[in-house]
Structure 1
Amino acid sequence: MLNRVILIGRLTKEPELRYTPTGIAVTNFTLAIDRNFKNAQGEREADFVPCVVYRQLAEFVANYLAKGKMASVDGRLQIRSYTAQDGQKRWVTEVIGENVHLLSPKDNSGQEPAAQSGNHSYGHEVNLDEDIPF
């Protein structure tokens, strides 16, 4: 069996870092990913994919990713359910990130994030004026 997802997109808002009651870091963020085709009006549409990362990777993402920055996420798709306060069963689909690569150019200070141990890293600069081949 195989459950593998690789995404490249831009963050729609600032990542949200929180900690579980047992002290595990959790960061939630959403990637906007352009579709490869245009709609009937000639506009590109996008998919908005919720992503979750844990532990050191969560802190790394919260420190180095920001709204509008391009990133790649390598992970697995998770579909879970919960019972809402109104008693209705709700379903959530999200990507659990195992590797995250920062793809946006260096910030104004010229600093890149320091290499971190674990399942995360930063990517090389991407010319954002060119299309990324898929």
Structure 2
Amino acid sequence: MTRDPEVRYSDNGHTVARFAIAVDRRFKKENEQNADFINTVAFGKTAEFIEKYFFQGNKIVVEGRIQTGSYTNQDGQKVYTTDVVAEQVEFGESKNSNNTNGSANESRPAPSSAIGDGFMNIPDGVEDEGLPFN
């Protein structure tokens, strides 16, 4: 994430989170930028999740759709927009792999999926033969 999410709440209780992500380009050409910066928006519970657990510098996995739109700015010019609407998000790395170097992120709560070794404990009574791996 290139910046902390900007979160707003509507009068009717809807949550909207706006943020940008940097995506490295696979092929780099001389004298061209190495990444694309993609405006992203999330709504409802997804926006609330992002507000609680994601901050500038975090790696985030976003699944969603492209949405285009337009509006007329104060100068009367038509402005076209393209955003990714985040329908599902995941952590792109564990907390242990974040390099905070004393940043404000250290005081923020760790997401539950980033605690421990990254593996779910197998409940008692589940036989190993029923699992897809050994």
TM-score by length of 1: 0.69
Cα 1:98–1:38 change in 2 (3 A) is same
1:22 deviates by 2.0
Query: Number of paired residues?
Result: 105
Please point out which of 77, 81, 91 is paired with 1:102.
Answer: 91
1:79 aligns with 2:68: yes
Q: Residues of 2 paired with 1:93 and 1:44: CA distance? A: 19
Higher helix share: 2
Higher RCO structure (Cα 8 Å, ≥6 apart):
1
Deviation at residue 112 of structure 1 after TM alignment:
4.1
**Equivalent residue runs for 1:1-134 within 5 Å:** 11-40=1-30, 45-106=34-95, 112-114=110-112
- Give the SS at the match of 1:14: coil
Q: Which one has a bigger Cα radius of gyration?
A: 2
Identity score, percent: 40
Aligned residue type for 1:30: A
Query: Do the aligned residues in 2 keep the contact of 1:37 with 1:44 (CA within 8 Å)?
Result: no
Alpha carbons of 1:44 and 1:79: their partners in 2 closer, same or farther (altered >3 Å)? Answer: closer
Task: Name the TM-score, length of structure 2 as normaliser.
Answer: 0.69
Q: Secondary structure at the match of 1:104?
A: coil
Which structure 2 segments of 5+ residues have no match?
Answer: 97-105, 119-134
Structure having the higher strand fraction is 1
